[in-house]
Amino acid sequence: MNKTRVEFFSDGVFAIAITLLVLEIKVPESGNIATGLLNLWPSYLAYAVSFIVIGAIWINHHAMFDWIARIDHQLLLLNTFHLLFIAFLPFPTAVLAEAFHTSSGRDIATAFYAGTLTVIGVLVNAMWWHAASRRELLHEAVSPELARAIGKRFLLGPAGYSLATILAFVNPWLSIAMFIGLNVYFLWPRRPEVVARKSRAPRKSRT
């Protein structure tokens, strides 16, 4: 399987999922329009959170594929399952917004959202573990230490998200704050100095 087309297809799914989010925000039916627009704050919040979440996952997906030189069939399958949950995200987003609108079931809606993120996080790790375990899939510039450092960073995802899933039953806002925080962190995908420096060579050669 051609790496470029897998990236292209994945980018397409990311771009479509992120843009479909807006369809879940419904125009206020009637009554005062100002109040109606203000009352939609849970939808705006859910929209912004999911946009940042999908954006952060997309940025990290890119960073990962910059270190990957070849795609084998297992990686393709893992990537497909990963996209299955990315494309699913507009639904937990709508559930989250609805629960905060009606002020009922906020704990379950938040746990449902964080649970979906946990599955995505696990699949991201599975992709990296698989690629790192078969050295020929990675760029030569990625040393075993670098591969481990990257892997450790990715572990933060499922660890943090599963904690957020549990936290949702204690306090939904705490849980939301937690996965926002995690994604703001992930928006900086190459923070580890060693990663940024060592991976420069393969990335350039990709253009």
Site mask, its own copies, residues 100-139, x = CB under 8 A?
Answer: --x-xx--xx--x---------------------------
Contact 3, 65 (CB under 8 A): yes
Q: How far apart are CA 50 and CA 53, in angstroms?
A: 5
Total residues in contact with its own copies, by rule CB under 8 A: 65
The nearer residue to its own copies, 89 or 120, going by C-beta atoms, is: 89
CA atoms within 13 A on the CB side of 85: 21
Q: How far apart are CA 74 and CA 80, in angstroms?
A: 10
The nearer residue to its own copies, 13 or 126, going by C-beta atoms, is: 13
Q: Which residues 54-83 are close enough to bind its own copies by CB under 8 A? A: 55, 58-59, 62-63, 66, 73, 76-77, 80, 83
State yes or no: residue 9 binds its own copies (CB under 8 A): yes
DSSP 156-180: HHHHHHHHHHHHHHH-HHHHHHHHH
Residues composing the chain: 207
Among 17, 57, 78, 138, binds its own copies (CB under 8 A): 17
The nearer residue to its own copies, 15 or 194, going by C-beta atoms, is: 15
State yes or no: residue 171 binds its own copies (CB under 8 A): no
